[in-house]
Amino acid sequence: MSSLPLPKRSPGSLGRPSIATREKGERLYKMIRERIATRVLGAPVP
């Protein structure tokens, strides 16, 4: 979590979309989904 305040005209997120890729997004989505499944639902994702 960043300790820097968001700029007043910010849409609410920080980052560098120019370095984003589909593969990075898929890996991030899968990691978040697996973490939620394991920690909240108590079951690993198949």
Question: Which residues form the domain of 25?
Answer: 21-46
Q: Is residue 32 situated within a structural domain?
A: yes
pTM, to two decimals: 0.54
What pLDDT is stored for residue 31 in this prediction?
92
Q: Is residue 39 situated within a structural domain?
A: yes
What pLDDT is stored for residue 9 in this prediction?
79
What is d(CA 11, CA 24) in angstroms, rounded to the nearest whole number? 21
**pLDDT tens-digit map of 1-46:** 456 777 777 776 667 777 889 999 999 999 998 888 888 888 776 6
Q: Is residue 25 situated within a structural domain?
A: yes
What pLDDT is stored for residue 22 in this prediction?
92
Q: Is residue 40 situated within a structural domain?
A: yes
The count of domains in the chain is 1
What pLDDT is stored for residue 46 in this prediction?
66
C-alpha distances out from residue 7 to 11, 20, 35, 36, 45, Å: 9, 21, 30, 30, 37
Q: Is residue 8 situated within a structural domain?
A: no
